[in-house]
Structure 1
Amino acid sequence: MSDKPSVLFVCVHNAGRSQMAAGLLTHLAGDAVEVRSAGSVPAESVNPVAVEAMREIGIDLTTAQPKPLTVDAVEASDVVITMGCGDTCPVFPGKRYLDWELDDPAGQPIERVRPVRDEIARRVETLLAELGVSPSR
């Protein structure tokens, strides 16, 4: 059992918002936080516009793959952050749940994805502070 905090980001397809959030948290926290992401109905691949938006800020998501949401992933996480997955996310006592309402980048041009990325970055930085983890930039 690890003593470092663990965070699970969940959205429907695990192809945009949750992948960007996981990439940002991993980038900012280094190995100080265990980071997971999953989708209730995972897509075949990560949204290429989300990949491009993250590349613009120096984060590489080219090898990221959407993963299915599992009970094990939820049980292993201290904080579960949902992003539009509604009632499909399992709820367990003792877990901290946050629901981040964010526009879905699916099918959007990069001009519409950048503000979503930037809002996720702001929330990830707030989350790090709440977890007591200093960004490793």
Structure 2
Amino acid sequence: MAKEILTTQNIILKQKPETKWEAIERVGGMLVNSGYVTPKYLDGMKEREEKFTTYIGNGIAIPHGVNEYKNEIMETGLVIVQYPDGVDFGKGNTAYIVIGIAGKGDEHLEILTKIALTVQDKGNVERLRFAETAREILSIIEEGVM
């Protein structure tokens, strides 16, 4: 039975600052705990970050695994962690919203595109950064993604 791609249970608000590696571990662990991926998928997420940053601009990072780990994805899913004070993703790039993503087949490309369109609007990023409830974040994401 397919799961919902994003639920309020998969959104963490007001997370204290941590390193980008800790943030990647956090969202990867959330993907695992929600049943979207196997624990091995985290290795693919770290490998992706080592090769190319997953910081996409406008205060957003979207960690996800390299293609070699796609078989570790059990269901398409998203998790979101809000960092009001930011996470340093290197080279002066600060992420305020870190979105872990796992997509079956080519679904991740479609989801990434929709998220990118949503967060290219700095107003949406500010709304996400300072949202007070998981429902508020879910609504902002659903406006642009679903």
TM-score, with length taken from structure 1: 0.29
Bigger RCO (CA 8 Å, 6+ sep): 1
TM (normalized to structure 2)?
Answer: 0.28
